[in-house]
A and B are shown apart, each in its own frame.
Chain A
Amino acid sequence: MKYTIALLSLLFIWSCSDTVDDQNTTDVDGTTFPDVNALSGSYANMIAAEDYLYVISDTELISFRQQEDNSLAEIDRQLLGQDLESLHYRTGVLFIGSSQRMYICQLNSENIPVLQSRTLYTDFSDLRPCDPIVANDELAVVSLSSSTQVSEDGCGLTEVNEIRFYNINDLTSPQLVNTHSMTNPKGMALDNNLLFVCEKQAGLKVMNIADPMNPIELYHFEDIDKYDAIATGTTAIVVGTSEIYEFDYSDPTDIHRIWSVKI
């Protein structure tokens, strides 16, 4: 595809961040954004940040503000696109995934999202992958996957199973840096440069993405049906259809499972 070729031909050099991935509340010019104190999975449809609540429906991004009388006041509603599926918030920026696009919105001074960019995944309208998105300071990582069992999870039939790395130093123009083939990538969690990818029946992969041109697979925990993950800073909670696992990653050279619960 002309799109992929054009972007892949660009090479980027950047420095890796050494800081712990905490939920910063300030951007470069000192504006503060509402903080989240809960960690959501990559398939979230609603995210609360202090007094503000952001919700996606199938087509819209709706913003609410909690009132002191317990009511929820709607402060903004905007039509974004079709098949909106996932919502991710980081430092005043909302990433919304649909079956065709990644939308990036920046909160303004009133904490209302302002659309910065729409990035099309593919030119083919019949490809409808599910696409959770996670981000760190420099990259948005998108997992695109087909269904192994025909629409069992609502994701359309596609030929694509990959994760994509977009440089987001300029939110108005995300740059595709690399695509990396996977088996059946679903939910993801990202802590700085440590990426957890749930590969459904193919298990859980943990990768170092400090250099997105060369993601390094560190671990592959197999034979479990894993769907989504949350990274807490020291442990990763991984959820399947009927089980929950927790992995300790405080030492990335020794990532291991510490408990699991099965039905």
Chain B
Amino acid sequence: MIQLSTILLDKVFYSLILLLLLSSCDYSEFEIVETDGLAPVYINRDNLKVESESPRELGDLGKIVVIDSFLLVNELYKGIHVINNSNPGSPIGLVFWHISGNIDFTVTGDLLYADNSLDLYTIDISDIYNIQLLNTTENIYQTPQSEQYYPVGYLGYFECVDSEKGIVVDWEEKFLIDPKCRTTP
């Protein structure tokens, strides 16, 4: 009887040890992370805007192109500022080309090529105050470019871009559960 109880005690003892060890394990790879982060804001292709608007304040700036005496400066996800620089000492904002979700662009002659997370647009800029969408080229990238999108200048978790949800036009703060994407050090 003494032997049996010793064996039992041993089992209990070792079980307790095991439990203690397990409880000190790092479970992080199994944990669901819950954290504040950013999530993409989408619009439907049907709600795409390509139009001239009155000039607006500079915000989060992206790429820049110079053509003739114009400076064209991208406003991340929003469109392109058109600045008249014919008098280099005093630039004048002329118009804002609102292009939903715009990140990259280039110009040649009277045509502006501009993209967003889904498509590439051919836009007539012969009248800068009344730009016209001429053509939409869809899905030109093998892997949707949107899947490479991340919030620029941000460090942390974010909700991965899902190209099926539409065009990314902004990032918003959101409480994330089990996010799969992050910008990493």
Residues of A within 8 A of B (CB): 36-41, 43-50, 53, 55, 57-60, 62, 64, 66, 70-72, 74, 149-154, 157, 228, 230, 232, 234-235, 237, 239-244, 246, 248, 258-259, 261, 263
Contact = CB atoms under 8 A, between A and B. Distances in A.
A44 B106 contact: yes
B64 interface: yes
Interface in B111-158: 111, 113, 115, 120, 122, 134-135, 137, 140-143, 145, 148, 150, 152-153, 155
Given A55-B140, A72-B122, A237-B64, A48 B89 contact: no
B90 interface: yes
Interface string B97-109: 0000000111111
Interface residues of B, number: 45
A91 B163 CA distance: 36
A153 B63 contact: no
Contact of A151 (B71, B89, B185): B185
B117 to A, nearest CB: 12
Interface stretch (B29-37, B42-50, B53-61, B172-180): B53-61
Contacts of B152: 153-154
B65, B67, B115 pick with most chain A CB within 10 angstroms: B65
B88 A246 contact: yes
B143 A259 contact: no
A48 B107 contact: yes
Nearest to A261: B58
Nearest to B63: A41
Nearest to A89: B106
A228 B60 contact: no
Contacts of B142: 57, 59-60
Given A47-B106, A57-B145, A62-B140, A151 B153 contact: no
Interface of B: 57-61, 63-68, 71, 73, 85, 88-91, 104-109, 111, 113, 115, 120, 122, 134-135, 137, 140-143, 145, 148, 150, 152-153, 155, 183-185
Contacts of B89: 258-259
Contacts of A72: 120, 122, 135, 137
A225 to B, nearest CB: 11
A228 B106 contact: no
Given A57-B143, A74-B140, A237-B66, A46 B113 contact: yes
A237 B71 contact: yes
A50 B113 CA distance: 12
A236 to B, nearest CB: 10
B157 to A, nearest CB: 13
19 contacts: A36-B108, A37-B68, A46-B106, A57-B142, A57-B145, A58-B145, A58-B148, A72-B122, A74-B140, A157-B185, A232-B66, A237-B71, A242-B60, A243-B58, A244-B71, A246-B88, A248-B88, A258-B88, A259-B91
Contacts of B140: 55, 57, 62, 74
B85 A246 contact: yes
Given A37-B108, A232-B66, A248-B88, 20 more contacts: A36-B108, A39-B66, A41-B63, A46-B113, A48-B113, A50-B109, A57-B145, A60-B142, A70-B134, A71-B122, A71-B137, A150-B155, A228-B64, A230-B64, A230-B65, A237-B64, A244-B64, A244-B73, A246-B88, A259-B88
A210 B135 CA distance: 44
Contacts of A62: 140
Contacts of B105: 46
B120 A241 contact: no
A257 to B, nearest CB: 11
Contacts of A152: 153, 155
Contacts of B108: 36-38, 48-50, 53
Contacts of A154: 150, 152, 183
A231 to B, nearest CB: 9
Contacts of A263: 57-59
